[in-house]
Structure 1
Amino acid sequence: MTLRLIAPLVLILALSACAPAPAPSGAGAPVTPPTSPAPTATPTAAVDVPIVDGSLTSVRAPVPPVRVQVPAIGADMEVVPVGVEPNGAMELPVDPAVAGWYRFGPDPWSPDGNTVIAAHIDAPDYPIGPFAGLRDLPAGAEVTVTGADGASAVYTVSTVTYYPKQELPTQDLFARQGTRALVLITCGGEFDETTGHYDDNVVVVATPVA
């Protein structure tokens, strides 16, 4: 299955001091008695500047999903983080029994965007994978994703759609803003012997349970 996807500023202060004028000397020079220096007043701040915390706001670390369960089709799968292949396709685990979470997108606990989890439907030397049953999922079926920290996110299926691979709406499915859903993807449709790939993708969109 193939898814296309300031330099520091240095201030130099030049301080120039004026030498005091020499006192007059010799006969007839007036003698001035020494005087005590006037007390120096302590300067007062003209404006009280508020103290503001200058520390950076911490960025939320993503929580990788490690398990996805779809009881309606008997699917209980390990999930691993995946990236992008050199050809621009989404990377997927070779074993169809293991799903891949697109690690450059949102996780299930992100406040915005879609969490994408995908898996092969089958592969040489492996049995048919659990995601083969995605095409049979009824609306309202429950999906549970478990994170590395043990937290669970529960969803219900909204739609199951077949897309020809060239028409897969990747911008919508991999959206990082404006939506919040779980997207499950696998292959489907006819198998093309000449290319060794299926013609379609099966896409399940599930919404979070409040």
Structure 2
Amino acid sequence: MPAPRLEIRDRRAAAFSLLLAMLGATITAIGLRTDDALPPPVLAWESVPAPRPLPTSATSRKPGQKQKQKQLRPSPPDRLDIPAIGVHTPVSAIGLRADGTLDVPPLRSDAPAGWYRGSPTPGEPGPAIIVGHVDTARDGAAVFFRLRELKAGDSLSVRRTDRSVARFTVTKVASYPKKAFPSDEVYGTTPGPSLRLITCGGSFDRDRRSYRSNIVVFASLLP
């Protein structure tokens, strides 16, 4: 009788080993499919031009015209808060790439938003430009993942390095194909201080490893 019992244990061990092997193969396959389902790293701003230099507030008004709207002294931003979509992020300064397009913060889910230092500081006359990633292949949702959910009337605030706070209200949220990005509308001179928040959106082009559109939030300084 001892021999049959040993044979049964051997059969069970073999069956258990086979089960573990099958389970491991299944998990590996699922992992590969999951990795493949994620979009590759995003080239977010590959076709988004940088703003052209704006005239100063003195030259942007007609002779004799007074500034009627509230405006703040120049001071770089250091924090952006958008309660409606749960965004509370530091803001770093960014410049331009060698090809003349906007640079971006590091491609990480925890990367801050980036203020283009060639644009006005938030609260000055003209459009201040702040960009951020929508997501990353490795880490998932990034700082501006929910930017498209904003709607007219939502409020946001920018704390500046001089400790003052510029408060804005959203006036419009729009999606534009990158091939037809409306630079004049997004970056053009405004009658008072304004803000533009920009991220990726639309469908994903796997060949170019980029989203096909950009989401742009337009906001104006509150009185």
Query: Do Structure 1 and Structure 2 share a fold, with TM-score over 0.5?
Result: yes
Aligned to 1:47: none
Aligned to 2:90: 78
User: Greater helix share, 1 or 2?
Assistant: 2
Report SS of the residue matched to 2:128: strand
Counterpart residue type for residue 220 of structure 2: T
- Structure 2 unaligned regions, length at least 5: 1-43, 51-71
| CA 1:165–1:179: 2 relative to 1, 3 Å | farther
- Please say if 1:150 is aligned against 2:163: yes
Q: How many residues align?
A: 155
Preserved contact between residue 73 and residue 137 of structure 1 (Cα < 8 Å): yes
Identical-residue share of aligned pairs (%): 35
- Give the aligned CA root-mean-square deviation in angstroms: 1.8
Aligned partner of 1:98 among 89, 92, 112: 112
Report SS of the residue matched to 2:138: coil
Deviates more, 1:172-181 or 1:141-150: 172-181
Q: Which consecutive aligned stretches of 4+ in structure 1 deviate over 4 angstroms post-superposition?
A: 176-179
Aligned to 2:204: 191
Report SS of the residue matched to 2:97: coil
> CA offsets per residue over residues 89-145 of structure 1, 9 Å max, x none?
1011013441110101101131x2100100111224333113111111121111100
Preserved contact between residue 74 and residue 130 of structure 1 (Cα < 8 Å): no
Report SS of the residue matched to 2:146: helix
Aligned mates of 2:191, 2:153 — CA distance in 1: 22
| CA 1:62–1:176: 2 relative to 1, 3 Å | farther
Structure index of larger Rg: 1
Using structure 1 for the length normalisation, give the TM-score: 0.69
Counterpart residue type for residue 103 of structure 1: R
Using structure 2 for the length normalisation, give the TM-score: 0.65
- Structure 1 unaligned regions, length at least 5: 6-59
Aligned mates of 1:192, 1:161 — CA distance in 2: 20
